[in-house]
Amino acid sequence: MVSEFYSHGKLLLSGEYAVLDGALAWAIPTKYGQYLRFRTNNSKNLLWRSLDEKGEVWFEGLYHIANLEEISSSDQDISKVLQNILLQAKQLNTNFLAACKGLVVETKLDFPRDWGLGSSSTLINNIAQWAQINAHILLENTFGGSGYDISCAKQNTPILYQLKNKKPIVHPVTQTPSFADSLYFIYLNKKKNSREGIAAYRKQKIDSLHIVKTLSELTKNMVACNNLIDFKKLMTSHEELLSAVLGIPSIQSELFSDFNGAVKSLGAWGGDFVLAAGDKQTCGYFNKKGYSIVIPFKKMML
């Protein structure tokens, strides 16, 4: 018998970086995600196979089921990360895998790995479901981060997310922007390591209380906004604040200064997706710039 788990990908629309310090953030679960399927056997081993969106294997590892020691793998760095996740899951639930005589595990992404929609967070959430443990604690014990991506993995609607006393507070957002047809996600043709982005943010000398308060207000206003012109202004204000904090130019000033609309970075600045508020000419504009992956808001949001 095959057992299966699934988790949604994520995009952080507001509050990036400062969400770590308690800022209110707006995030959406995506229509893209990751499956985890497994079946038991009597091999005394755990065979792990990771597939990309095309069904091609990008990682494979073989482990002793008793102690998760590696027998062989296609990538030792990835193997060590996987071992750590599984060992941490066993610590949180000592019954996890305890009676298992052998396993074949297969994960499959709905999206390209370099899109940055949450290949790690969807894996963490799937393993947490399987092990029957708290996914936020498993994340904290492995990759770290704010945890908004874990909450997205479980949700069917956009969310407002905030850390209070290091505990995640999640509120569903049921309304979709009335101007959603003017919003697009554009892939920048390169992946950004969010942990590196967080480290760079932490190095800045900042007034975190002011930033948290300002970005929280911007988040509330963005979610409540029902006017595209006002929404563009809010996007720009958000970008200008973080540009000053990070000491780097906004993505619009750097790459899209001639765009007739607003462009906002999402998540770690400098890679993955951006959000563009424009018009019917938006797709053509970005395509001409060499950005072929332009996804309308409604086609990305779950």
Q: What is the model's pLDDT at position 201?
A: 67
Q: What is the model's pLDDT at position 2?
A: 72
Which value, in Å, is the radius of gyration of the alpha carbons in the chain? 20
Q: Is the pLDDT of residue 246 over 90?
A: no
Contacts of range 86-95, beta carbons closer than 8 Å, 24 or more positions apart: 86/127, 88/138, 88/141, 88/142, 89/127, 89/128, 89/130, 89/131, 89/133, 89/138, 90/131, 91/141, 92/131, 92/133, 92/134, 92/137, 92/138, 92/141, 93/131, 93/132, 93/133
* pLDDT tens column, 16-73: 999 999 999 999 999 999 999 999 999 999 999 999 999 999 999 999 999 999 999 9
Rounded to two decimals, the pTM is 0.94
The residue with tokens 């332009």 is: 294
Q: What is the model's pLDDT at position 203?
A: 67
Q: What is the model's pLDDT at position 89?
A: 98
Q: What is the model's pLDDT at position 117?
A: 94
Q: What is the model's pLDDT at position 269?
A: 80
DSSP state of 191: -
Q: What is the model's pLDDT at position 208?
A: 82
Sign of CA dihedral 84, 21, 216, 233: negative
| % of residues, the chain, pLDDT over 70 | 94
Q: What is the model's pLDDT at position 127?
A: 98
Determine the average pLDDT of the residues in 97-119.
95
Contacts of range 167-176, beta carbons closer than 8 Å, 24 or more positions apart: 168/136, 173/26, 173/223, 175/223, 176/298, 176/301
DSSP state of 37: E
* pLDDT tens column, 158-172: 999 999 998 999 999
Determine the average pLDDT of the residues in 119-144.
97
Determine the average pLDDT of the residues in 187-210.
71
Helix 119-131, helix 76-92: angle, nearest 10: 40
